[in-house]
Amino acid sequence: MDEDKRIILNQLSVRYRGSDDLQLRDITVSAEAGQIIGIVGNSHSGKSTLCQVLAGVVPQIISAEMQGSCQVLGRFAKDDWRQYNAMTGVVLQNPAGQLSGLSDTVEDEIAFDLINQGIDEAIIKRRVANVAAQMGLSDQLGQQPESLSGGQMQRLAIATAIVTDPQLLILDDPTSEMDPLGRQQFFDWLANANTTVVIVSSELDDLCEVADVIWILKDGQLVANGSPVTVFNHLNSDWQIPEPTIYRLAKGMNWRLSTGAIPVTISQLKEARYVAN
């Protein structure tokens, strides 16, 4: 895979204007295009700030002192904000706050960016119907956005982000208001997403099933980077990150993979049980 298609952070540090503390500290890491990158950490660990940097919101919209560099799929937000913004889909923590507020229906809200791009009406209708089906919003297309539940509002925000087929999808805690079924349907969809994804989530079991790599942040620093099974087999108690459910179950049964690692996914658990027997 071409190097310039990676996400590359090099000695990235961020301090908000007026703050004495760094929100991100000297982060150097990279990920390949097409991967799902899960970001984990406690409150104030820098997760949302990192999402805002990857989205170009920092420092283009939110003023901050930034040292080092953030290169995403061959582009720097500071060099060409319009093209950078066009290739990213973003869902930050307040989904209602990123909707246009100008649409009478869910259908119009999903179509908003496509209409502004001057795309043919027939193509817009097909894309909106397709995305609504993916997000379980087909029955809500005629409703007002304000009438949606919290979980439906999050799904609408995701729909508006993916309808333009972004090369990078950035999701900051996108399932916090979804019920268990809605959350499972979302992660099932995410597992088959055909784009590069950065997702912040506390749903560790779901992340382990879909993520290619996990980044753990603590106090603005990157303290772990690797596959889910590698990262969660080397947790540090100082990070205060809970163990995934399957990890705890397998550890209690003393089921391990042939490599000696404790499994973190359902398929790995089945493999470890076979090894144990």
- The per-residue pLDDT for range 18-32, each reduced to its tens digit, is 899 999 999 999 999
Q: Which of 82-86, 124-128, 273-277 has the highest mean pLDDT?
A: 124-128
With vertex at residue 156, the alpha carbon angle to CA 150 and CA 162, rounded to the nearest 5 degrees, is: 140
Of all residues in the chain, the percent with pLDDT exceeding 90 is 85
Work out the burial of residue 202: count CB atoms within 10 Å of its CB; fewer than 13 is exposed, 13-18 middle, 19 or more buried. Answer: middle
Alpha carbon distance 164, 110 (integer Å): 10
Q: How confident is the model at residue 268 (pLDDT cuts 50, 70, 90)?
A: very high
* Interval 264-276 mean pLDDT: 95
Q: Which CATH number fits domain 1-84+198-238: 3.30.450.20, 1.10.150.120, 3.90.1570.10, 3.40.50.300?
A: 3.40.50.300
Q: How confident is the model at residue 77 (pLDDT cuts 50, 70, 90)?
A: low
Partners of 248 in the β-ladder:
none
Q: What is the pLDDT of residues 130-155, one digit of tens each?
A: 999 999 999 999 999 999 999 999 99
pLDDT of residue 22: 97
Alpha-carbon distance 72 to 53, whole Å?
10
Burial (Cβ within 10 Å: 0-12, 13-18, ≥19) of residue 254: exposed
- Average pLDDT of the chain to the nearest whole number: 93
pLDDT in the model for residue 207: 98
Query: DSSP state, 255?
Result: -
The residues spanned by each domain of the chain are: 1-84+198-238, 243-277
Q: CA–CA separation, 81 vs 173, rounded Å?
A: 24
Q: How confident is the model at residue 94 (pLDDT cuts 50, 70, 90)?
A: confident
Measured N-to-C along each axis, helices 150-162 and 121-134 cross at an angle, to the nearest 10 degrees, of: 140
Q: What is the mean pLDDT of residues 29-48?
A: 96
Residues 147-176 have a mean pLDDT of: 96
